Amino acid sequence: AEPMKVGPAHRGFATSPATADLCDEHVESPNRPVIATPGYFNDYGGIKKFHGRIETVKCFESNPLVRKTLGEPGDGRVLVVDGGASTRCAILGDLLATMARDNGWSGVVINGCIRDSAVISGIEVGVKARGTIPLKSVKTHMGERGTTVAFAG
């Protein structure tokens, strides 16, 4: 199945639509979306259920754009990060999770890894990621923001 592509059309939800309703809405689509592969993401944040308008970042093993984005007012949004499914370094740690909470982000979903998971579990923000690794990311390139991302499908 084709992965669900998350782009500008999915950014304006005023309320949290039920996952089942989203699936029903797209049941006839030629690219019937896969919302998330079961078991693909693990919960790490202090909040397990979260929703909001999304902002996307695409980066690979380098997180300056994640930091820049989470440094802005979140207004209840969710940052969706396509980190290329890398397991070689973390895209988010406790400092960025704290920044997300302090700036009003609802949560962060990462196609990649985080670090500082024990500390992040006590921070009142949603964090979902593929796994953990103690190595921090490099800071060599920014990545792309506001682009369509596709993973977990």
Q: Which residue has the tokens 């919302």?
A: 35
Which segments are annotated as binding site for Mg(2+)? 116
**Residue 57 above 50 pLDDT?**
yes
Answering whether pTM is above 0.85, one says no
> Residue 95's domain spans which residues?
5-150
Known binding positions for substrate? 93-96, 115
Binding residues: 93-96, 115-116
The answer to whether the beta carbons of residues 128 and 41 sit under 8 Å apart is yes
In the chain, the number of structural domains is 1
DSSP 46-68: SBS-----EEEEE-SSB-HHHHH
Strands 54-58 and 144-145: antiparallel
**Which pair of tokens denotes residue 17?**
């639509």
Q: Which of 12-16, 24-28, 64-68, 83-87 has the lowest mean pLDDT?
A: 12-16
CATH of the domain at 75: 3.50.30.40
